[in-house]
Structures are given as structure tokens and as C-alpha cells.
Amino acid sequence: INSQKFHIVIDQSNNVKIDGVKVYADADSPNTDGIHIGKSHSVNITNSRIGTGDDCISIGPGSTHVSIQGIQCGPGHGISIGSLGRSEDEQGVENVLVSNVDFTSTDNGVRIKTWGKYSKSFVRNIVFQHIKMKMVKNPIIINQHYCLDKPCPKKESGVEISNVRYEDIQGTSNTEVAVMLDCSREKPCTDIVMRNVNLVLQRINGSAQASCNNANGLANDVVVPFTPCLKRDMLLI
């Protein structure tokens, strides 16, 4: 598939299975999301190769019980939950599994993005696991100040982000900040857990870093780069 805009859209649907699709669009082609999910329940996407100029897979408001497994993503903007919180009464996203994904030369790896404005929306019960990153600009990112419309609203996001797990994520970052948790002052991210995460800088000189704002949770086993807002779980050391 090589579309001028979104390639596959799953909207207001239940019990959807997608397996073995190949999607390709040029890296500089705007708004060419590979698969977009919105207001849908019980969606399974497996064993697919996606390269686009936007998100390989995007999960929009009102999506629940989504499983994404066995994906090769790149080029593109990674796999994104959001954007969320653009309107006050927007539905949230919950119960999402992203597993066994390879990202190559993407702008982002696994991303959660919300608008900086008041909203009753939420993101909760999310698992990112068994993921490989190769030359990815932002391997792990939560951005609660997402904005495309200038001027941007100078407000904090009202979207509540909680219970997000990052497990067995390995690879290389193209930028020094390999982990960015930029959460809302009004609704800080809670119950963020990282376990067995090892992200190193692609170039020889320098080292990968983490940036944290208004986030808290636990770090289990090896977590590289050191993520200061996450406490060590002493029971698992």
C-alpha cells in the first residue's frame, strides 16, 4: 500500500484483526500514518512491515484493548498513543500492548503525546515490551506539551497518564536524550515502570541521557540511561 494520506483506518470498530500487511510511503510524505485506530475495541495487529512519513501506527481517543505485535517500523514517527486531549471531553486510551517491535531510523520509538490544555481524557494500563531500537531519535517519549497549532496554548495537559510499563527495550538512540518523560504539572504521570531498558548513544562520543518532568514510578533491573524520577525497586535488586 502506498497512499497519499492515512493508509488503513480502524474507526468505531470491534474485534478487528490485521496480519501481514506491508505499508510504504516516503519518509518526507506528511500525514501518511500506516494504521490509525480510533474509538475501537479489541484490535489486533500482527506481523506487518510499515514505513511512512508519519506514525507507523497511531492509537487515537476511545481505543481500548489494542494488541500490536511483530511489527517492523521505519521510516516514520514510531508507534504513538495520541495525540490526546485536544478537546475537553475526549475519550481516553487503555489496555494497550505493544510487543516484539523493531524500530529502524524513526523519529520516535514508543510515544505518548497529549495536548497542553484542559481535558478529561486519560492513558492507562499500557505495556511496551520486547522492543529493539536502531538509530531512533526519541526511543522512549512522553510528550504532554504536544502542539502543532501556532501559537501553542500555554497550559498544562489535563490528560492523566498512569500505569505505563517499559520492559526489555534495547538499542541505539540518535540523540543524547534517549528517554524523555515530559509530563503535566497539573496531572503528573504516575506508576511509570521501567525494567531491563538499555539504550545507548549511536555515536561513539558522549552517552545517552534521560529527561524527567513531573513523572514518578519505579526502575527495576538494569535501566540505562539512569532515569532520575524513577525510584529503584529494592525488592527486585
pLDDT digits (tens, 9 = 90+) for 33-59: 999 999 999 999 999 999 999 999 999
Domain tally for the chain? 1
CATH of residue 12:
2.160.20.10
Per-residue confidence at 206, pLDDT binned at 50, 70, 90?
Answer: confident
Position 176, amino acid: E
Among residues 7, 36, 77, 145, which one is catalytic?
77
Would residue 57 count as lying in a domain? Answer: yes
d(C-alpha 39, C-alpha 31), whole Å: 19
The grid cell for 206 is 558522549
Would residue 225 count as lying in a domain? Answer: yes
Residues 211/185, Cβ–Cβ less than 8 Å:
no
Residues 212/229, Cβ–Cβ less than 8 Å:
yes
| pLDDT at residue 90, as a whole number | 96
Angle at alpha carbon of residue 22, lines to 29 and 69, rounded to 5°: 105
| pLDDT at residue 184, as a whole number | 97
Average pLDDT score, the chain: 94
Q: What's the domain range around 64? A: 8-236
Residues 223/192, Cβ–Cβ less than 8 Å:
no
211-220 mean pLDDT: 97
For 85-110, what is each residue's pLDDT tens digit?
Answer: 999 999 999 999 999 999 999 999 99
Largest CA distance in the chain: 51
% the chain with pLDDT above 70 = 96
Would residue 66 count as lying in a domain? Answer: yes
69: left (phi over 0), alpha (psi -120 to 50) or beta: beta
| pLDDT at residue 152, as a whole number | 81
User: Residues with Cβ < 8 Å from 16, sequence gap 6 or more?
Assistant: 10, 40, 42, 43, 44
| pLDDT at residue 234, as a whole number | 53
Asked if 77 is an active-site residue, the reply is yes
Would residue 32 count as lying in a domain? Answer: yes
Would residue 1 count as lying in a domain? Answer: no
Enter the pTM of the model.
0.95
200-224 mean pLDDT: 94
Residue 137 has pLDDT above 60, yes or no: yes
| pLDDT at residue 237, as a whole number | 44
Would residue 3 count as lying in a domain? Answer: no
The grid cell for 147 is 502542539
Among candidate residues 116, 113, 186, the one with its CA nearest the CA of residue 153:
116
